[in-house]
């Protein structure tokens, strides 16, 4: 696992969405990602498009599948695209009872709520009001060149 968590997003620009998908939809495309590959039919239109793009390089082929990796140019293009469309996903540190958890969200309040949803099953008597008074949240300093 990396310090660059996944984001649940879909990009309308299909080429950028393919790059985002190949990297595992990271919050920061320029950071380390847990994956970097996209598999497609070796003789299909997508493979031809990928082979012609400076954003991807062919990583190999096996039988009828071609594998592509995102280049540094592709990472920079995705980062610029996310900035251009105003993607609001950021990495926040939410601290509760001395434990800090990295949470991807669009705002500090959404990050806090997301962590409460994740832990509320384990703390049956913990209401969101109690949690929000006891928890703190801050934008993570180490991430996100988006």
Render each residue's pLDDT in the chain as its tens digit; 146 residues.
457 888 989 999 999 999 999 999 999 999 999 899 889 998 888 888 888 888 888 888 888 999 999 999 999 999 999 999 999 999 999 999 999 999 999 999 999 999 999 999 999 899 999 999 999 999 987 544 44
Nearest-10 crossing angle of helices 14-22, 72-85: 120
pLDDT of residue 142: 59
pLDDT of residue 145: 46
pLDDT of residue 2: 59
Decide if 103 contacts 92 (C-beta within 8 A).
Answer: yes
pLDDT of residue 51: 86
Q: Give strand pairing partners of 40.
A: 66
pLDDT of residue 80: 97
pLDDT of residue 143: 46
Runs of H (alpha helix) within 70-135:
72-85, 108-119, 128-134
Backbone dihedral region for residue 81 (phi beyond 0: left; psi -120 to 50: alpha; all else: beta): alpha
Distance CA 38, CA 141 (A): 30
* Locus of tokens 């984001």: 7
Cβ atoms within 10 Å of 19's Cβ, excluding its own: 28
């Amino acid at each position: 696992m990396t310090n660059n968590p996944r984001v649940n997003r879909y990009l309308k620009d299909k080429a950028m969405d393919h790059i985002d998908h190949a990297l595992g939809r990271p919050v920061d495309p320029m950071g380390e990602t847990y994956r970097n590959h996209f598999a497609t039919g070796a003789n299909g239109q997508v493979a031809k498009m990928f082979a012609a793009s400076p954003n991807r390089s062919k990583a190999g082929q096996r039988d009828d599948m071609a594998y592509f990796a995102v280049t540094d140019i592709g990472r920079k293009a995705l980062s610029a695209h996310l900035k251009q469309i105003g993607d609001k996903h950021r990495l926040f540190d939410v601290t509760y009872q001395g434990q800090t958890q990295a949470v991807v969200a669009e705002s500090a309040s959404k990050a806090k709520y997301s962590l409460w949803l994740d832990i509320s099953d384990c703390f049956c008597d913990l209401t969101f009001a109690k949690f929000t008074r006891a928890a703190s949240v801050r934008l993570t300093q180490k991430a996100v060149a988006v």
